[in-house]
Amino acid sequence: MIREEEPDAVFLGGDLLPGAIQIFSANFPHKNYVNDYLAAELMRIKENPGITYPEIFLILGNDDGRCEEEAILDAAERGLWHYAHNRKLSMGSFHIYGYSFVPPTPFRLKDWEKYDVSRYVDPGCIHPVDGIHTVPVSDYEMRYSTISDDLEILTNGDDLSQGIMLFHSPPYRTNLDRAALDGMKIDHAPLDVHVGSIAIQRFIKKKQPLITLHGHIHESSRITGNWMDREGRTFMFSAAHDGPELALIRFDPEKPESASRELL
User: CA–CA separation, 51 vs 218, rounded Å?
Assistant: 32
Task: Return the top range by mean pLDDT from 14-18, 27-31, 177-181.
Answer: 177-181
User: Among the residues of the chain, which ranges form H helices?
Assistant: 2-5, 20-23, 33, 40-46, 69-77, 139-144, 147-155, 198-207, 220-224
CATH of the domain at 106: 3.60.21.10
Contact call for residues 202 and 234 (beta carbons, < 8 A)? no
User: CA–CA separation, 86 vs 150, rounded Å?
Assistant: 8
pLDDT band at 182 (very low <50, low <70, confident <90, very high): very high
When divided into structural domains, the chain yields a total of: 1
pTM of the predicted protein model: 0.95
Residues 77-94: what's their mean pLDDT?
A: 98
User: 31 pLDDT exceeds 90?
Assistant: no
Helix, strand, coil: what percent of the chain each, to 5?
25, 25, 50
* Sign of the four-CA dihedral 220, 150, 204, 9: negative
Give the residue numbers spanning the domain of 145: 2-263
| pLDDT of 29 | 67
Residue-wise pLDDT for 193-252, tens only, equals: 999 999 999 999 999 999 999 999 999 999 999 999 999 999 999 999 999 999 999 999
Residue-wise pLDDT for 125-168, tens only, equals: 999 999 999 999 999 999 999 999 999 999 999 999 999 999 99
| pLDDT of 163 | 98
| pLDDT of 25 | 58
Phi, psi of 248 (to 5 degrees): -115, 125
Contact call for residues 20 and 222 (beta carbons, < 8 A)? no
Residue-wise pLDDT for 251-263, tens only, equals: 999 999 999 999 9
